[in-house]
Amino acid sequence: MATIEEPPWLRLVKAPVIIVNAAGETLVAANEGARRILALPSRLPLPASLVLLIGEEAVEALEASTRDKREFRIVATCRTRGGFRALCLDGIACDEGFAVTLGHPVPDERAWLESLEEVAAGLPIGLEIYDRDFRPLLCNEVSDHFFDYPDVHMDHHDDWWDLAFPDEGDRRHAFLEWHERIAEARADQGRSRSAEWKVRCADGLDRNFEFRFRFVGDLYTVVFWDVTERRRLEEEWREYACTDVLTGLCNRRHFFEQGEVMRRNTDLSHEALSLLMIDIDHFKAINDQHGHAVGDHVLRVVAERCSKALRLGDLLARIGGEEFSVLLPSTGTREAVTIAGRLNRALADYPIECGAVAVDVRISVGGATRTHEGEPLESLLDRADRALYAAKSNGRDRVEFSG
């Protein structure tokens, strides 16, 4: 292919311009602006095939436009190294073929707005756009689904708050948070701000939504999505992670987490702290004689009776097998012994019935009271465990306390 010299005027043109041959299939020259738009290689030898640079579809449109014409204007999708780009190609005949100015197509404003509404309607999240005075300009279908309240016409963003937050306290809290967020969003329009609230929806149900706020110029935009199910599952998983599935008590992990908090609190208040270890006597024999279903029922009833015998604020946990532990805040040894005896009687006074089976259940209890502020929970547990071992060694069905 013969080399064609670049016309000297091309470098003087600030607009992005390419020179193509008369057939519209070969790139003859390109100025710096055109090279950037088309992402042309810096050392591209010219002339070069346009098909390799902007794709077959765009070249076919060019070839059709250059036939027997002196001028043309088309919009073509060009496949460049930087990706697909829709460009307006404005050509005029010159000595080398055609000088083609590259520009961005300017769509019809009405068609553009209709397309925007179609895109907004198809979004899987809620979208609302307001003017500078917070009057609604666009609300998509998801927004209408949740917040198009029956027999209510909302002319302003303020109209939403009373409907979404029937409780005055919740409304005041959310409204103040919203004011803070939109002030931040207005000051820094490059970032969105977020909030999560439980709101009353058009169907009368309360749901959790995550909201994102942002200003685009004078336009206030809100996107939101329903996170109710996600929060429910998170709460279930939190409960599952902290709860013993069989008895409903807190599990060993949660006992130590909460126990450490209680230990620090009693350190700060200079109060006593006691711990009880509970073991069901001859539990293996219960399982062997009556089966594991009865054994599981016994564990549940033991947990229930112990819970009822304890005070509000005491922490009861199943820490493994037939072993339970109780942390008693603000409780010295004398009161802890009284509570341990109450637990013993709660099981000894009545057999546990499971269908036709009645099981006589006894427990052994070991206890310890903190000897000094700052004693680790593990140390207290170890001393209570040793006292429990003594209770079992001394005949079971009794309470022993660590000295």
Q: List active site positions.
A: 322
User: Are residues 75 and 54 in contact, defined by beta-carbon separation less than 8 angstroms?
Assistant: no
Q: In terms of Cα–Cα distance, which of 300, 326, 304, 323 is closest to 313?
A: 326
User: Are residues 30 and 17 in contact, defined by beta-carbon separation less than 8 angstroms?
Assistant: yes
Count helices and strands (H / E) in the chain. 13, 18
Name the helix (H) or strand (E) containing 400.
Answer: strand 399-401
Q: Three-state SS for 190?
A: coil
Residue 399 φ then ψ, to 5°: -120, 130
Cα angle, residue 179 at apex, residues 175 and 180 outer, rounded to 5°: 120
How far is the first Cα of the chain from the last one, in angstroms, to the nearest whole number? Answer: 103
* CA-based radius of gyration for the chain: 39
In the DSSP assignment, the letter for residue 243 is B
Q: In terms of Cα–Cα distance, which of 346, 331, 337 is closest to 387?
A: 337
Residues contacting residue 383 through CB under 8 Å, at least 6 positions apart: 368, 402
Largest CA distance in the chain: 114
Please tell me the distance from the alpha carbon of residue 252 to that of residue 314, in angstroms, as a whole number: 15
DSSP string of 374-398, one letter each residue? T--HHHHHHHHHHHHHHHHHTTSSS
Give residue 213's Cα distance to chain centre.
17
User: Are residues 307 and 314 in contact, defined by beta-carbon separation less than 8 angstroms?
Assistant: no
